[in-house]
Amino acid sequence: MRVPLTWLRDYVAITDTPDELASRLTYAGLEVEGIEYVGLAPVTRPVAGLPAAGRSGPAARGLAWDPATIVIARILEVLPHPNADRLTLLRVDDGSGAEPVVLTGAPNVFHLKGAGPLPKPLKIVYAREGAVLIDGHKSGREIITLKRAKIRGVESSSMACSEKELGISDEHDGIIILDDDAPVGAAAAEYMGDVVFEIKINPNMARNACVLGIAREIAALTGAPLKPPALGVTQAGPPIAGRVGIEIREPDLNPRFVLGLIEGVTIAPSPYWVRRRLRLAGTRPINNIVDVTNYVMFELGEPLHAFDFDALVRRADGRRPTIITRRAGPGERITTLDGVERALDPFTILVCDEAGPLSIAGVMGGAETEVADTTANVLLEGAAWNLVNVRRTMKAQDLPSEASSRFARGVHPGLAEKGVVRALELMRQWAGGTVARGLVDSYPGRPGPVVVDITPAEVERQLGLRVPAGEIVRILRALEFSCEVVGDASDPAAVVRATAPDHRLDIGSGHAGKADLVEEIARIHGYERIPETMLADVVPPPHPNRDLEREEQARDVLVSLGLQEIVTYSLTSPEREARLALAARPEGGAEIPYVRLANPIVVDRVVMRRAILPGLIEAAAANSRNTDRMAFFEIGNVFLPRPEEALPGEPRRLALVLSGARTLPGWQQGDRAAMDFFDLKGVIEELGEALAVAGVEFEPGERDGLRPGRSAAVRAGGEAIGWAGELHPTVAGRFGLEGRAVLAAELELDPLLRRAAERFTVRPVPVYPPVKEDLAFVLDRAIPVSRVQEVIRAAGGPMLAGVALFDEYAGEQVGAGKRSLAFSLTYQAPDRTLTDADARKIRERVARALKDELGAALRA
Amino acid sequence: MAVDFDLIVAEGLAALAAADGSGALERWRVAHLGRSAPVMAALGTLGALPKEDRRAFGQRGNQARQALERAYEEAAARVRQAELSRDLEAGAVDVTAPGRRRGRGRLHPTTRTLRKIYAIFGEMGFQIYRSRDVETDEYNFSLLNIPPHHPARDMWDTFYTTAPNVILRTHTSPGQIHVMRERCPEPIRVILPGMCYRYEQITARSDIQFYQVEGLAIGRRITMADLKGTLTAFAHALFGSEVRTRFRADHFPFTEPSAEMDVECFVCEGQGCPVCKQSGWLEILGCGMVHPVVLQNGGYDPREFSGFAFGMGPQRITMLMHKIEDIRYFFSNDVRFLEQF
């Protein structure tokens, strides 16, 4: 919200500099997001009493008007330009005694050209040579210095200013014509210079979406008294009673409806100071009647609506109009002020008369009954609407406006009457006319008083700071609560009984109400006065998070194995995942549906992932252009809808992708071969070992998406936990990784980590030396290594401490369909040094078992 | 038979002086100290000498042999030393050439920051509690004092799913309700990390997914002073003990009073710079005293219990600490970014 400083000063004395005020408001929860200087010059001095370091305010911008060169002047006569029909020369009195002539193209004085000396000179803002202004002819806000120039043969060194040239608005259709009270010769900055604060209004501060609200906060923060605008109206006309009726059909949605009437107004522009304020506040002046409704909305926070009363009477065929508020009927439509014909949702509440809808309540008026240049009699509406309902309508119709957004945040029904009274009086002052006596006020939803009891002890329990009852009362009264103290004010148990003022909807009852008051007390007393202490409360009992510990341990292991951790989006698209066939059927069975977004924002992020690998492979593909070696892992959730439950399962998975050179490029010889299945398997084996998970096994198995003959099912302790293998070349191609061996695995993390042994047993370190022996066997190629190792281990018995494959050979020397596997065997006894005879016995057992069970022949 | 041991020694030493390198030295050893060397041969005749001469002869012979042995040892040591020096010289490498890199793995930058946060709050007794990404409307909003259609909902742009009332969590706050309901009436100090989702345009400053870390402390006497103290201690631990913090009033429906904690800009030390947008302060986290309605929804009686909560973006903190200008770096996973950590 944009709040001009001069407007604030109508209601509260301000001695702070703009920076200080911005800081004060920001600390109190009214964040000043920007300061715009419109004429006044920034004043900088340290912000007293606030713990700001260095700079503390938002970035300031704007234009300060030099008091010597930008002054008030008056036009004495509008003369024709000798060489240009569209230009005129203004003879002005700038208070200096000289009568300079100013060249202008302003259309709003053109009609006075050649009319001779003006009987009532027009007041303008006059800029002398050297004045710093905004270039009115360029878009944006380009700063220029006024220089002497010759335009069509006439020399000119000064200017009559438009609002744009002074930085008040983007208006450049004519020069500013000031109100009559403007003192000729005075500095313009002094007369009408301003500072606009851009203030963020949080949802709990709806009451402060108006100048009076901000002024009230300043008064509470600084201790200065609040001077609210007078709420009296001169009502010289006949009574309104009997001339218009109100029928509220949905009191829950429309708790109050107030009408006032002013007759015989003259539609005209508002006084210049009003128009300037409205522009600074961010709205466009229209005419004196509409401007009043906007002015009062900015001032008090009550949006108002002005009807052309005669149009209503016409619609009622000359009878007494009755205003009806009700929900929209089926198929009902309305043409709003913006000329759009709108279909209405059944929840929409409308302001109607007996002939049909007049406006969408709280959101936008209808075209037919709006105030026009010919309007003479104005019926003024001040109403209260259910904020939830207005919010829904505003969103459904996509009609956010100053009015609808205020109603959507909540406007207290108490403001309806105040707003109407204030506006009637301003209309009378600015548009003439006679105000009808009294109001028509239907108030079926009058809220009961909101009374909250709070004690200094309760405040201290929340804030850790003693705030005496007297200070609590001072703060709450400054915010216009009515307060009484029950008991001795010096007692921490004294009860401050506070009744919320009739502009606040945010104060709850019971505990919520106490919290609301504690916040007000803390805000105004100052957060910076609350001390900083360390928690002294009871320490909670331990709840070790083993899941996370093991997950982090897994991360550390994978990092130690040279893998880079990756985090990809959980949001993806079915098409992206479908490229990896194995992702589509996570459990190999029927396809599981997706968690699908109802309102996706980008086309390729519409569902929650069911697998991690596709995203990880995408990351590999994106990196493949820039790096030779990719070794990535991701630990994260996948999202699998469950038939009987509203929420999906979110199991954790580990995905791995390896591709490219085994070692980083260097200048010496290294293992530059591309990584293969066994690099991937090694990572998984080492992870299992590091986490002390017994029985991580690989079983040959085909899998959609993986290359046949190079894929395996991974089991932990007998439970299937996922797959590892080389991507099928077709699949790699789909990801843009054609021609590369891409090793990939996706494993269920929970069953793996669940098996991580906390208390694994440590074997004693052998005292006696081991005996090592290398043996090679020739056997059928189809027999898997795991089977051979199994037989060796079983036959070797307890003294066979280690079996390690160190070579594989297939070729002519061993015959077709055969291969030679060479193992390094380690024999070890805990209690003695083994002899050659011991070793021979084990070797013979192993060789015999391999021959008998697998038909293997020991190679010499 | 007269043997001139002195001559033998002199000849031996002369020959030794000419022996260079370990091969020549070994040949010399065989020739002058081997079985058939003159001194050994002479000593071998000892038994044939008259008894009275044997002692003197043996003495002279042994002295000669020992002299040759000593000379040999010295020469051998010299040669070994010379050869070692040669080897060392020949084996010198260019130490300015690049080292051999094995290809280190790295944690994702967010994981690093999360771990720092866990560690700092861990020292203050906070445990880690995680909860689900896909949530009910109830846990994400209603139970946190954000009723349906309430204007406060405008603070979170939400991804809805096609299942009724099932949404992607917009913040980690639903975890507050989960942990409270699980642990009530125990006191609680937890850190709630997790992935959150917002219906927002993807730009350099906002992404549709991001990490959040929330904290919650519930107990019988926890105050806003504790909140300020705890979070200032956190800021000191993360950003340095000299940084100043400030607490400004703010609004969150699930806390009251609510605050925003700013940390003095550690880039410009509060003087104003592009990182802090000239304000001298960096917005780090939102916080406040747990709203009584939220306490009640978690099972705690607000008359007995109070608590504080706070939430921050570990990615934003990482961005500030390393001057990262684009939040999209985090999930685009370009190794040229990741390798810098």
Pair A842, A852: CB distance under 8 Å = no
How far does B156 lie from chain A, in Å, by closest CA? 12
User: Which among A53, A463, A568 has the least Cβ separation from residue B225?
Assistant: A463
Q: What confidence score (pLDDT) does residue A57 get?
A: 56
Query: What does the block give as tokens for A821?
Result: 């596997």
pLDDT score of A355 more than 80: yes
- Other C-beta atoms within 10 Å of A678: how many? 10
Least confident of A41-50, B93-102, B239-248: A41-50
Averaged confidence pLDDT in chain B: 92
For B268, residues 6+ apart whose C-beta sits below 8 A from its C-beta are: A54, B275, B276, B280
pLDDT of residue A45: 60
Count of alpha carbons within 13 angstroms of residue A464, beta-carbon side: 26
Of the residues A348, A567, A617, A650, the best mutation for testing chain B's interface (the one with the most B CB atoms within 10 Å of its CB) is A567
Assigned domain for B101 exists: no
Question: Is residue A583's pLDDT more than 70?
Answer: no
Same domain flag for B321 and B195: yes
The answer to whether residue B172 scores a pLDDT higher than 90 is yes
Q: What is the pLDDT of residue A812?
A: 87
Using a pLDDT cut of 90, give the percent of chain A over it: 83
CB contact under 8 A, B289 and A568: no
B112 contacts chain A (CB < 8 A):
no
Is B80 among the domain residues? Answer: yes
Q: Any long-range contacts for A314-319 (C-beta under 8 Å, 24+ apart)?
A: A315/A353, A315/A354, A315/A355, A315/A356, A315/A368, A315/A369, A316/A353, A316/A354, A316/A355
Same domain, B230 and B322: yes
* Chain B interface includes A730 (CB < 8 A): no
Task: State chain A's mean pLDDT as an integer.
Answer: 93
Q: Write out pLDDT tens, residues A591-603.
A: 789 999 999 999 9
- CA distances (Å), origin B321, targets B245, B273, B277, B283, B341: 16, 14, 15, 13, 12
**B143 and B84 share a domain?**
no
Residue A138, min C-alpha distance to chain B (Å): 28
How many domains does the structure of chain B reveal? Answer: 2
A389 forms beta bridges with none
The residue type found at A60 is A
Give B110's contacts in chain A (Cβ within 8 Å).
567
B299 touches chain A (CB under 8 A): no
The answer as to whether B104 is a domain residue is no
Q: Are residues B67 and B151 in the same domain?
A: no
For A797-819, what is each residue's pLDDT tens digit?
999 999 999 999 998 888 899 99
Give the end of a domain, one of B39, B61, B90. Answer: B90
Tell me whether A689 touches chain B (CB under 8 Å): no
Residues B116 and B33 in one domain: no
- Cβ–Cβ below 8 Å for A511 and B296: yes
How high is the pLDDT of residue A372? 94
Tokens standing for residue A44: 């900088």
0.90 exceeded by pTM: no
Q: Which residues of B touch A671 (CB under 8 A)?
A: none
Q: Are residues B121 and B185 both part of a single domain?
A: yes
**Which residues contact residue A704 at a Cβ distance below 8 angstroms, ignoring those fewer than 6 apart?**
A581, A582, A585
Same domain, B115 and B242: yes
A628 neighbors A661 (Cβ within 8 angstroms)? yes
| Statement to judge: residues B43 and B116 lie in one domain | no
Q: Is residue B95 domain-resident?
A: no
In a domain, B179, yes or no: yes
Residues B281, A571: C-beta atoms closer than 8 Å? no
- Give pLDDT tens digits for A672-710: 889 999 999 999 999 999 999 988 999 998 888 899 999
- pLDDT in the model for residue A44: 65
Query: Which residues in chain A are contacts of B339 at CB distance < 8 A?
Result: 564
Cβ-nearest to B249 among A27, A605, A646? A27
Q: Do residues B77 and B120 both lie within one domain? A: no
| Beta-carbon count within 10 A of A330 CB | 6
Pair (B176, B37) in one structural domain: no
Query: Is B244 near chain A, with CB under 8 Å?
Result: yes
Greater pLDDT, A46 or A27: A27
Confidence check: pLDDT of A58 > 70:
no
Q: How far apart are CA A652 and CA A639, in angstroms?
A: 9
Residues 6+ apart with CB under 8 A from A761: none
Asked whether this complex has an ipTM greater than 0.85, the answer is yes
Q: Where are the beta strands (DSSP E) in A158-299?
A: 159-160, 194-199, 245-248, 256-263
| Average pLDDT of span A335-362 | 94
Instruction: Judge whether B102 lies within some domain.
Output: no
- Type of residue at A822: A
Which residues from B are below 8 Å from A522, CB to CB? 224, 249, 257
Give the pair of three-digit tokens for residue A360: 């969408």
Overall residue count recorded for chain A in this entry: 860
Phi-psi region of B311 (alpha: psi -120 to 50; beta: other; left: phi over 0): beta
Diameter of chain B measured on Cα atoms: 130
pLDDT at B204 over 60: yes
Range of the domain at B225: 109-338
CA distances A346 to A385, A386, A828, Å, are 16, 15, 86
pLDDT (tens digit per residue) in A224-233: 999 999 999 9
| Final residue before a domain boundary, out of B60, B90, B120 | B90
Q: Report the alpha-carbon distance of residue A658 to residue A660 in Å, rounded.
A: 7
Look at residue A19 and tell me whether its pLDDT is greater than 60: yes
Q: Is residue B261 part of a domain?
A: yes
Q: Which of the 8 DSSP states describes residue A597?
A: B
Q: What is the pLDDT of residue A55?
A: 43
Which residue spans within chain B are E strands per DSSP? 127-128, 134-136, 166-168, 188-197, 209-219, 245-252, 255-264, 281-290, 306-312
Per-residue model confidence (pLDDT) at position A614: 95
CB-CB neighbors (< 8 A) of A663 in chain B: 101-103
CATH of the domain at B187: 3.30.930.10
Q: Given this model, what pLDDT does residue A59 score?
A: 63
Q: Which pLDDT score is estimated for A586?
A: 47
Share of chain B above pLDDT 70, in %: 100
Q: B294 and B182: one domain?
A: yes
Residue B228 to residue B245: CA distance in whole angstroms: 9
Q: Given the structure tokens 């060789």, which residue do they identify?
A: A847
Whether B107 sits inside 8 A of A555 (CB atoms) is yes
Cα B260 from Cα A176, distance rounded (Å): 43
The verdict on residue B317 lying in a domain is yes
Overall residue count recorded for chain B in this entry: 341
Same domain flag for B46 and B179: no
What tens digit of pLDDT does each residue of A218-256 get?
A: 999 999 999 999 999 999 999 999 999 999 999 999 999
